[in-house]
């Protein structure tokens, strides 16, 4: 098995790495410190075509694949995770459901603007009482035959890219039932996904959360009160929403694994640099075996995380089952990111606790990787099931 990149993927990786180093690194600290969304950086990412990486050119994409997206995510996260999660959520959660399950009309209406980065999309799945238990969805969408519309009521939380100035839509997972079933004591508990454009009456976006990390990304709570959208905004078949978002989350775990790998590798990069510059007791601290062993272990974690997401992505692109491999990659890489961030902070000593050093951001950003798009406990549950263990 050869894990060397082909020339096209290597060129993309190098281009994004240069962008991350030259454009993102000098600016992102100020955005992060002030909890501001980096519109200028996102616009440049759009001009580079990053938001359209895995989509065909006919929809405004770059004609690449999901592996290309993950390569870009890893390189961005080596420098900053807020920028990386903005891209990941916009593509794998915001536009991918439309590409995977949308009608031709929906694709042509929404994808060109999403691929260009002119518009961001979001995916409204998580609810206050339904995190890991996605089947506990309480948001409802009632079909009104008189107006041929869906009427949506409910609340979503922790939704990335939901409230920026360029957010154009949120795809909402909701319990659907027809108006004829309204009086039924046991209404059909089928979940469907529906496109809700920004600005639709009855759709309210809350103020930004105050977060521990990912401070330069946008995360909001959403509420829907008799929010009406055309019946044509249904994404795919009615009642198939649960299966749709399971597929989207399986793919997204590979993307998050790539992002986590980037953070883990960024911790190595910053710690190597610091260990060569910082002197104590008359020599660089990198000359001490204790620091060398820490860095060796950090490199091992980043390297094996990369192999894990490469393997999961290769199975996905080959059309082979990849649920277990995606869960393995997400579980291992998120653990590697958290551990490497802790070790990088330790190597930096007191400076690692100062926000002017990138490892401070990495430390704050790492923990959510063990929670978002499926907690580590959920990943272990999925792996156990794929091994044939009953639950």
Residue 340 in any domain: the answer is: yes
pLDDT in tens for each of the 391 residues of the chain? 667 899 999 999 999 999 999 999 999 999 999 999 999 999 999 999 999 999 999 999 999 999 999 999 999 999 999 999 999 999 999 999 999 999 999 999 999 999 999 999 999 999 988 766 766 789 999 999 999 999 999 999 999 999 999 999 999 999 996 444 444 433 346 899 999 999 999 999 999 999 999 999 999 999 999 999 999 999 999 999 888 988 999 999 999 999 999 999 999 999 999 999 999 999 999 999 999 999 999 999 999 999 999 999 999 999 999 999 999 999 999 999 999 999 999 999 999 999 889 999 999 999 999 999 999 999 999 999 999 997 6
**Are 151 and 108 contained in the same domain?**
no
**Are 109 and 128 contained in the same domain?**
no
**Are 233 and 279 contained in the same domain?**
no
Instruction: Choose the final residue of a domain: 105, 120, 135.
Output: 120
Are 225 and 153 in contact, with CB atoms under 8 Å apart? yes
pLDDT of residue 187: 38
Residue 208 in any domain: the answer is: yes
Residue 2 in any domain: the answer is: no
Residue 1 in any domain: the answer is: no
Q: What does each C-alpha distance from 286 to 171, 275, 342, 359 come to in angstroms?
A: 49, 4, 17, 17
Q: State how far the Cα of 35 lies from the Cα of 164, in Å rounded to an integer.
A: 13
- Residue 373 designated active-site: yes
**Are 147 and 220 contained in the same domain?**
yes
Instruction: Choose the final residue of a domain: 67, 90, 120.
Output: 120
pLDDT of residue 4: 86
> Hey, is 21 helix, strand or coil?
helix
The enclosing domain of 268 has a CATH number of 1.20.140.10
Q: Which two tokens stand for residue 208?
A: 């930004």
**Are 49 and 83 contained in the same domain?**
yes
Q: State how far the Cα of 106 lies from the Cα of 235, in Å rounded to an integer.
A: 8
The enclosing domain of 161 has a CATH number of 2.40.110.10
Q: State how far the Cα of 32 lies from the Cα of 73, in Å rounded to an integer.
A: 18
**Are 190 and 278 contained in the same domain?**
no
Q: State how far the Cα of 82 lies from the Cα of 211, in Å rounded to an integer.
A: 12
Are 87 and 116 in contact, with CB atoms under 8 Å apart? no
HSE-CB at 81 with a 13 A cutoff on CA atoms is 34
pLDDT of residue 189: 60
Q: State how far the Cα of 77 lies from the Cα of 79, in Å rounded to an integer.
A: 5
Instruction: Choose the final residue of a domain: 239, 255, 271.
Output: 239
Residue 49 in any domain: the answer is: yes
Q: Which two tokens stand for residue 104?
A: 């031709």
Measured from the Cβ of residue 10, the count of other Cβ atoms closer than 10 Å reads 12
Of 104, 73, 75, the C-alpha closest to 89 is 73
**Are 264 and 349 contained in the same domain?**
yes
**Are 260 and 366 contained in the same domain?**
yes
Q: State how far the Cα of 218 lies from the Cα of 85, in Å rounded to an integer.
A: 10
Residue 48 in any domain: the answer is: yes
Provide the sign of the torsion angle of the four alpha carbons 266, 269, 273, 279, taken in this order.
positive
Global pTM reads 0.94
**Are 116 and 126 contained in the same domain?**
no
Are 251 and 315 in contact, with CB atoms under 8 Å apart? no
Residue ranges making up the domain that contains 11:
7-120
**Are 233 and 277 contained in the same domain?**
no
Rounded to a whole number of angstroms, the CA Rg of the chain reads: 21
**Are 330 and 210 contained in the same domain?**
no
Q: What is the largest CA-CA distance in the chain?
A: 81
How many H-runs (helices) and E-runs (strands) does the chain carry? 12, 10
Which one of the listed residues 75, 325, 370, 373 is annotated catalytic?
373
**How deeply is 320 buried, as exposed, middle or buried, from its count of CB atoms within 10 A (0-12, 13-18, 19+)?**
exposed
The enclosing domain of 37 has a CATH number of 1.10.540.10
Of 386, 380, 301, 390, the C-alpha closest to 341 is 301
Phi, psi of 250 (to 5 degrees): -60, -45
Q: State how far the Cα of 299 lies from the Cα of 197, in Å rounded to an integer.
A: 44
HSE-CB at 156 with a 13 A cutoff on CA atoms is 29
Residue 327 in any domain: the answer is: yes
Residue 391 in any domain: the answer is: no
**Are 53 and 149 contained in the same domain?**
no
The total domain count for the chain is: 3
What CA dihedral angle connects 240, 245, 251 and 256, to 10 degrees? 180
């Amino acid at each position: 098995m050869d894990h060397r990149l082909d020339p096209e993927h290597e060129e993309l990786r190098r281009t994004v790495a240069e962008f991350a180093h030259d454009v993102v690194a000098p600016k992102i600290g100020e955005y992060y410190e002030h909890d501001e969304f980096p519109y200028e950086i996102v616009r440049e990412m759009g001009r580079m075509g990053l938001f359209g990486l895995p989509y065909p050119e006919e929809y405004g994409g770059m004609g690449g694949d999901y592996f290309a997206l993950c390569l870009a995510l890893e390189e961005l996260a080596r420098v900053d995770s807020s920028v990386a999660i903005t891209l990941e959520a916009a593509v794998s959660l915001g536009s991918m459901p439309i590409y995977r399950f949308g009608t031709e009309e929906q694709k042509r209406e929404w994808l060109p603007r999403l691929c260009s980065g002119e518009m961001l999309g979001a995916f409204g799945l998580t609810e206050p009482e339904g995190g890991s238990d996605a089947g506990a969805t309480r948001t409802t969408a009632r079909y009104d035959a008189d107006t041929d519309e869906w009427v949506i009521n409910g609340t979503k939380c922790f939704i990335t890219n939901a409230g920026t100035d360029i957010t154009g839509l949120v795809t909402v997972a909701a319990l659907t039932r027809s108006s004829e079933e309204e009086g039924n004591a046991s209404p059909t508990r089928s979940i469907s996904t529906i496109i809700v454009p920004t600005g639709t009456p009855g759709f309210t976006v809350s103020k930004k959360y105050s977060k521990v990390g990912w401070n330069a990304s946008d995360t909001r709570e959403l509420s829907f009160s008799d929010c009406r959208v055309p019946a044509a905004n249904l994404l795919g078949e009615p009642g198939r929403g649960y299966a749709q978002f399971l597929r989207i989350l399986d793919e997204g775990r590979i993307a998050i694994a790539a992002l986590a790998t980037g953070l883990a590798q960024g911790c190595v990069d910053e710690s190597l640099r610091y260990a060569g510059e910082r002197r104590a007791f008359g020599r660089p601290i990198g000359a001490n075996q204790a620091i060398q062993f820490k860095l060796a272990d950090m490199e091992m974690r980043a390297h094996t995380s990369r192999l894990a997401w490469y393997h999961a992505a290769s199975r996905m692109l080959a059309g082979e089952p990849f649920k277990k491999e995606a869960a393995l990659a997400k579980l291992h890489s998120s653990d590697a990111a958290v551990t490497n961030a802790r070790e990088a902070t330790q190597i930096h000593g007191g400076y690692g606790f100062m926000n002017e050093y990138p490892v401070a951001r990495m430390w704050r950003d790492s923990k959510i990787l063990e929670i978002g798009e499926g907690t580590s406990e959920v990943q272990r549950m999925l792996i156990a099931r794929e091994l044939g263990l009953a639950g």
